[in-house]
Amino acid sequence: MWKQFLSKLPRKSSKSDASSGSTRSHPINNGTTSINGNPIQRTSSGNVVPSRSTAVKRTASAIFPSSVVTSIEPLLLFKDVPNTEKQNLFISKLNLCCVVFDFSDPNKNSTEKDMKRQALLDLIDYVDAGSSRFTEPMISASCKMFAMNLFRAFPPNNRSSAGGGETEEEEPMFEPAWSHLQLVYDLFLKFIESSSLDAKIGKKYVDHSFIVRLLHLFDSEDPRERDCLKTILHRIYGKFMVHRPFIRKAVSNIFYQFVFETDRHNGIAELLEVFGSVISGFALPLKEEHKIFLWKALIPLHKPKTLGVYLQQLTYCVTQFIEKEPKLASSVIKGLLRYWPVTSSQKEVMFLSELEEVLEATNMVELQKCMIPLFQRISFCINSSHFQVAERALFLWNNDHVISLVSQHRQAIMPVVLPALERNTRSHWNQAVLNLTQNVKKMLSEMDEELFLACKTKFEEEEARQMIMEEKRRMTWERLESIAAFRPVTGNTSVLVRPAIAPPVVAERALFLWNNDHVISLVSQHRQAIMPVVLPALERNTRSHWNQAVLNLTQNVKKMLSEMDEELFLACKTKFEEEEARQMIMEEKRRMTWERLESIAAFRPVTGNTSVLVRPAIAPPVVTALS
């Protein structure tokens, strides 16, 4: 059996053959060979695969030069040959390892697999020893062997990712050929790390095509393989400086495809782990290319629902950028607010955890640029009915740096946060959240008691005013109903029907339209006509809607419109406020006119057919807001 296998491998030639050896090609590189009676068919790309119809197709790497003709027995040990022949033996063993076996059946070609395994172990020991520099033929043969063993097409992933949660990882699938692949990866790593490898020669074979195929392997479902690839990619990035921009661009493309197209990739965490080390080595000041990578690649990675799988690595990368250049903190916070989850409580908890780490690296100046929308979002989280979200938001106040930031900007932050704390105190169902709320209120009170009491008084006045408006509205409708009760319904007489307040699901559903990318695109193209129509409704919701979820969604839509065209947004908002002020002046004039007429009519007796002055009921503003 061994003789049949070795007959296809190069052997030591005689002196008479040496003169004609330059025209001989390696027997393993052409035609069809047989191993243990099983035919092995060579593909057009140079791979050796079983000729069975069920064979797994493997992809080749970049085009390599023709393999160097060697004239030495590959099963010899390196210690058994002179130094002048070790390079030839190295290449001969590499050619032996280019044969790819089918590992789905462990009993098939077991002898030949053992021979290949032993050859790989010999190669690892030789490279680890670092006895001599690698020649170009040795580098070429090595890269060819790595390509033929590692680069392959993965089977389609039939497991759906829709059913899992944000942090739920599926059961990993292990590569059946790992016993040999692990040795190839070990050899690859030692080869790249070896001081015997000249980077100037190696970059010709570890080229762009080779790197792209290597990055494709990060989608492997075997976590052991991804872990090896992570280390190898880091070493390649460090060894071949000329390839660094290309590697960054290629990894960015993987992130873009994952976020905006497939929503599925197995190696995002490993790639981010590599880039965490890369980012820490960026020179200052940061290049514009690196900032674009943060804004367009890393920040959008918060969008996928599988964020929990790679959140730790992503958070590290983002905080590294802020530590390198603190001015990026406000951009990062705005990016988090942009992708803040609305319907997923699990992701909200993750965002709050990352936000705390970002705030720890944020200075006072950068916080000022985004503190109002930031603490508005934190207030919404404090009022969340999901106790874990509320707890995580309240835990932010246990961070000394966050407390320091709040203390220095308390005049702006406390009026935003305190109403949320008061609402929690009155109506939250969870006892742990109530206890944390009381603790935070105590902190704010000790921070600035005068401001705390002023904010609390303002909130109570606002609540009382809202209750008075609701009571007036109720009494108005009751009076109208009592008047209508004495009028018979005849002919076309209108029937007074008390309007039912639209349940929050209607308002929520209307606001959910803005989560549709196509709708946003349409609105963006016609914003000059649409925004003046929509913004007044959003402003009325903000002022008077009773449902907290609707208020949160309203704030999100207002934020979208503001980011779409801030100048137009501010113009529409100003126009609405002017219209509101003008309406209030008109209502006041109308009220005073009726009071004057009533005072005049009070001194005139009612006799005969004298008309009786009845002051019309003025619908309170809440009717307009809810209609």
Picking from 130-134, 327-331, 453-457, which range would have the lowest pLDDT averaged per residue? 130-134
Instruction: Read off the pLDDT of residues 254-311 as tens digits, 9 standing for 90 and up.
Output: 999 999 998 899 999 999 999 999 999 999 899 999 999 999 999 999 999 999 999 9
Residue 25 has pLDDT above 50, yes or no: no
The first and second tokens of residue 121, run together, are 């172990």
**Residue of 76, 106, 79, 105 whose CA lies nearest to 91:** 76
- Outline where 325-409 has alpha helix (H): 329-338, 345-360, 364-368, 371-382, 387-395, 400-408
Per the CB < 8 A criterion, the answer to whether 465 and 473 are in contact is: no
Rounded-to-integer distance, Cα 521 and Cα 359, Å:
33
Question: Does 458 have pLDDT greater than 90?
Answer: yes
The closest alpha carbon to 523, from 554, 566, 553, 565, belongs to: 565
**Residues 6+ positions from 452 with CB-CB distance below 8 Å:** 414, 418, 441, 444, 445
pLDDT number for residue 158: 56
Distance, in Å, from the CA atom of 487 to the CA atom of 185, rounded to the nearest integer, reads 91
Question: How confident is the model at residue 304, as a pLDDT?
Answer: 93
Q: Which residues pair with 42 in a beta bridge?
A: 48
Helical ranges in 486-565 per DSSP H = 504-512, 517-525, 527-544, 548-564
pLDDT of residue 24: 34
Residue bearing the bigger pLDDT, 167 or 625: 167
Q: Rounded CA gap, 183 and 191, in Å?
A: 12
Annotate 224-242 with b (16+ C-beta within 10 A) or e (fewer).
ebbebbbbbbbbbbebbee
> Comparing 192 with 45, which gets the higher pLDDT?
192
Q: Which two tokens stand for residue 511?
A: 């606001």
**Contact predicate 258/265, CB 8 Å:** yes
Question: Is pLDDT of 445 > 50?
Answer: yes
End-to-end distance of the chain based on CA atoms, in angstroms?
A: 89
Cα–Cα distance between 393 and 391 in angstroms, integer? 5
pLDDT at position 132, please? 79
Q: Residue 152 above 80 pLDDT?
A: yes
**Among 451, 384, 387, 380, which Cα is nearest to 417's?**
380
- Most trustworthy range by pLDDT among 32-46, 61-75, 92-106: 92-106
Summarize pLDDT for 349-374 with one digit per residue, the tens. 999 999 999 999 999 999 999 999 99
Q: How confident is the model at residue 147 (pLDDT cuts 50, 70, 90)?
A: very high
